[in-house]
Amino acid sequence: MYGGTALWATAACSKGAHRAISTGSQPVIKVASVAATRPAQTGSLRFYFVLDATSTRAASVQYATTDGTAKAGVDYTPVNGTANIPAGQTQAYLDVPVTGDSLRRPDQTFYLQLSSPVNCTLDSSQATATIVNSNLPYLPTDTTGYSTPASYAGYHLAWSDEFSGNVLDRQNWTFDIGNNNGWGNQELEYYTSSTNNAFVSSGNLVIEARKESINGSGYSSARLKTEGIQQFTYGRIDIRARLPVGHGMWPALWMLGSDITTLSWPGCGETDIMELIGSNPNRVTGSMHWQNSDGSEGTYNNNYYLPTGDFSQRFHVYSLLWQHDTVQFFVDDSLYVNGGINNVTSGAYPFNLPFFFIFNVAVGGSWPGPPDNTTVFPQRMFVDYVRVFQR
């Protein structure tokens, strides 16, 4: 199995206070369910056997592990035997070996079955062990799909991130955090900087949206940006990515004008290199947004449709050819939005000024609507590279 680094911890039930009882009474023995992150190397998961009272007699209970979604000999080492708690004491423990790995996948469970209590009674005959895999750092994916060259005649590579390391390069990226009243779109997620939601693995940036309760939101995800770190004016931009689909999903690869702190939106300008609404899995949209003279939002955009399949099945390259007074959008080198200053018939044209990148996976919002019972979580966007070529 793949080796890597992961934190392994044991979990125990609360010891609490124990009452003293007479010789003839039967204390109750409890074994709490436990959960811990799978270790990178072989580790162990600890069960505690706890009596609710001391006794003058030794107590014991037989135990044996049984499979759930975790399989004996593959995910953990099966054990069986007798747990003994000496007279006058209230606790014993059992360590079950767990196989090390770093592959991110669904959590797994196995069980500890209890039987034949001696000088005690069972509170429950079963405890559950959960091996937490969902936060692990290794996530390979199918890399087939469209690619673009690493160089172009007449251009030099001004900046890129190939996501080739094991951690996100914080000299390129920072995070938006929180819900921010739905980010102006009635989005449902809470954006975090956790590696649960954004991490680098196998040459890809992975942005993962999860269905979980976090700070008042029902979903978590990540929104990365280069604001204040990397900004650009003009060039050819290539972003190779594989996208999540499904009702309520809204992945985007886009740019905002760097003067957003002074002009605000939409006066700063917005360039949506790619947006996908998950209920239309074979369609992406490229857009220019600006502020009209009357203060309203101006938009010029178009859609690109895959002839077969959808955008979650293979990698595609979303490109912007950005020159003075023109902004052209491509999917796999096919032009589908030919925009520029002639489309901005009212208000100032913001697209001749510096812009920064934003990569995010939104959940819900005014455009896609909320997820439904067909939406499977987690949802992930994989980004292979982002490259900026300039003359």
Task: Check: CB of residue 217 under 8 Å from CB of residue 365.
Answer: no
**Can you give the pLDDT at residue 25?**
81
Do β-strands 28-31 and 121-122 pair in parallel, antiparallel, or remain unpaired? parallel
What pLDDT is stored for residue 352 in this prediction? 98
| Identified catalytic residue from 187, 189, 208, 270 | 270
For residue 227 the two structure tokens come to: 């604001």
What stretches in the chain show pLDDT beneath 70? 1-24
| The token pair that represents 185 in the structure block | 């779109």
Break the chain into its structural domains and give their ranges: 19-132, 156-390
Is 270 a known active-site residue?
yes
197-215 pLDDT per residue, tens: 999 999 999 999 999 999 9
At the topology level of CATH, where does 156-390 sit?
Jelly Rolls (2.60.120)
Per CATH, the homologous superfamily of domain 19-132 is CalX-beta domain (2.60.40.2030)
Name the strands in the sheet holding 174-176, side by side, starting at the edge strand that comes first in the sequence: 174-176, 223-225, 355-363, 249-257, 270-275, 283-291, 297-305
Predicted confidence at residue 175, as pLDDT, reads 98
pLDDT at 337: 98
The helix/strand/coil state of 341 is helix
Helix (H, G, I), strand (E, B) or coil at 117: strand
Given 187, 189, 208, 275, the catalytic residue: 275
Cα separation, 137 vs 98, in Å, equals: 18
Q: What is the mean pLDDT of the chain?
A: 94
Residues 6+ apart with CB under 8 A from 306: 282, 283
In angstroms, the Cα distances linking 150 to 155, 238, 328, 387 are 11, 10, 20, 8
Instruction: Report pLDDT digits (tens) over 130-159.
Output: 999 999 999 999 999 999 999 999 999 999
Is 275 catalytic? The answer is: yes
SS3 254: strand
Q: What's the pLDDT score for residue 17?
A: 42
| Predicted local distance difference test score (pLDDT) of residue 24 | 55
Which distant-in-sequence residues (6+ apart) come within 8 Å of 47 by Cβ? 31, 32, 34, 63, 93, 94, 95, 96, 112, 127, 129
Closest of 381, 137, 373, 173 to residue 275, by C-alpha: 381
Return the pLDDT at 16.
41
In this predicted structure, what is the pLDDT of residue 191? 98
**170 Cβ neighbours under 8 A, 6+ residues apart:** none
